[in-house]
Amino acid sequence: MSAELIDLVHRLGQPRVLVVGDVMLDRYIWGDAERISQEAPVVLLRADHREERLGGASSVATMLRALGAKVALAGLVGNDHDAGRIRQMLTDLGIDHDAVLTDLHRPTTVKERYIGRAQQRHPQQMIRVDFEDRSAVREPLQSQLIQAIHYQIRKADIVLISDYDKGVCTPQVMAATIGAADAKGIRTVADPIRSHDYRKYHGCSAITPNRLEAGLATGRTLTTQTQIMEAARHLQEELDLEAAIITLDKDGMALKHRDGRMKFFPTRPRQVYDITGAGDMVMSVLGMALAAGADYDLAIPLANVAGGLEVEKIGVATVTREELIRDLLQAGAPSAAATAGKIVGLDVLLRELERRRRHGQKVAFTNGCFDLLHAGHVQYLQEARDQADLLVVGLNSDGSVRALKGPTRPVQPLAARALVLAALQTVDYVTVFDALTPIELIQAVRPDVLVKGADYRKDDVVGAQLVESYGGRVHLAAFHRGFSTTTLIEHLRAA
């Protein structure tokens, strides 16, 4: 799955995405939470800096830009200083904000968060203060907004609705937006509000409520998988959706599709620092993937990954394609819990190396018998791994070990030697060769760095000239005296 998702990231392209919804400014005040105030039993925050980011629907637009989309934003701001800040930030990011209209009757929505550090530990949000007017947009501004949305839809590949219940996403605006998108043949994906009534999202391609929102909208408590899927089915059928997607925080997402598909998509455990913006990130990546032609079965797992990366950051933050690829590579790489997955044949190895090289990763290669693994081997392999982004170990077969070391070797059979090597965190792949030298394997792998022990001279290292001929290099790792498989075997026999 990781390989498929990486390919999807490469295929995202630069879709034209229209974001409709509540435009906001997120302001962060950072400082040290030093003590309790003498005036009242409250924490005293000694502020040291302030930061402003785009929030709400404009946060979705920001996330999309960071992912490489061409973005237009439709919504409302007030006639105030904060509106000017938002427009300037949108301009700086290259986000089309011609459809962000000025409402003379409301202030710009601002969410002000106070972030405290205690004894230099990881910062935590202490309190949020909102400045807003949640009343519905009034005529004639509503008609002007609908007209601006219709114009932007003519240029869009997908429409994302970011509804924070601040007055923009009225039933009239939603009906006009969904209808215009449907007439053009493009999808509309909505992140809905917390409400008992979701009728205004009728006809969307998909909606992405969280567990609490979906439960409220369907009158259910969503604890079990059966309850969750029943809620998804209810939403999909009642609202005539292509797909109902319920986000389940650490439990991933659930999908009920019009074609009958009902699936759960788990996510990996994460170190959660701040869930702010996770829903926006999920919808952004989901929309990007769908606009690129992906099916929900791939778009949802990719959105899961992006949402997981978002919660590892403080506040509303962006995620890049490079971060997605890096995370997917780490997830797809074999782990200590699945060491057998690191032991691969040459065909599989070459495919994996090609995939990882496409993302700029360098390959180190070394080889040996590794009969009885000892501390010298561990230090040697660590140094080899430090030379590049991943390490491939060519392992002599039992037959080649006997040919090199004599009839009493190896002490451990091939399967055991390979498994012990693969269990090391420093080793990314183990592949077996049967020849007396690894030259054919080196020719196939074409490592960026060829590693051998410093007890060799470079001129004696098999494959050295080949590697240097195409611009690679040879590294002679430190020789650690006192460690030897032969000596270890002799000590064991003497004992």
- pLDDT 10s digits, 188-234: 999 998 888 999 999 999 999 999 999 999 999 888 999 999 999 99
Q: Are strands 243-247 and 473-477 parallel, antiparallel or unpaired?
A: unpaired
- DSSP secondary structure, 198-242, as one string: -GGGTT-SEE--BHHHHHHHHT----SHHHHHHHHHHHHHHTT-S
pLDDT per residue as tens digits for the range 435-450: 999 999 999 999 999 9
Quick one: pLDDT at residue 314? 57
The beta-strand segments (E) located in 37-157 are 43-56, 70-77, 96-102, 109-117, 124-131
Q: Which two tokens stand for residue 445?
A: 């792998």
Strand partners, 187: 158
> Is residue 121 scored above 80 in pLDDT?
no
Q: Are strands 449-453 and 363-368 parallel, antiparallel or unpaired?
A: parallel
pLDDT band per the 50, 70, 90 thresholds, residue 487: low
> Is residue 492 scored above 60 in pLDDT?
no
Question: If you average pLDDT over every residue of the chain, what do you get?
Answer: 87
> Is residue 340 scored above 70 in pLDDT?
no
Quick one: pLDDT at residue 120? 58
Hey, what amino acid is at 91? T
Quick one: pLDDT at residue 1? 58
More confident residue, 37 or 94: 94
Distance CA 298, CA 284 (A): 14
HSE (side-chain half, CA atoms, 13 Å) at 258: 12
* 54 three-state secondary structure: strand
Q: Which of 82, 96, 280, 327 is catalytic?
A: 280
Burial 27-56 (b: 16+ CB within 10 A, else e): bbbbbbbeeeeeeeeeeebeeeeeeebbbb
Strand partners, 26: 53, 111
What is the spatial order of strands in the sheet that 262-265 belongs to? 96-102, 70-77, 16-21, 158-162, 187-191, 206-207, 243-247, 253-257, 262-265
More confident residue, 359 or 288: 288
Q: Which domains does the chain have, with CATH numbers?
A: 2-23+56-90+136-331 (3.40.1190.20), 335-494 (3.40.50.620)
Among candidates 83, 21, 84, 89, which has minimal Cα distance to 51? 89
Residue 96 appears among annotated catalytic residues: no
φ, ψ (nearest 5 deg) of residue 330 = -65, -40
Quick one: pLDDT at residue 93? 94
Least confident range of 79-83, 121-125, 328-332: 328-332
More confident residue, 331 or 303: 303
Using a pLDDT cut of 90, give the percent of the chain over it. Answer: 54
Quick one: pLDDT at residue 271? 55
Residue 254 is inside which H or E element, if any?
strand 253-257
> Is residue 47 scored above 80 in pLDDT?
yes
> Is residue 337 scored above 50 in pLDDT?
no
φ, ψ (nearest 5 deg) of residue 272 = -90, 120
CB 318 within 8 A of CB 276: no
> Is residue 335 scored above 50 in pLDDT?
no
Least confident range of 37-41, 166-170, 361-365, 386-390: 37-41
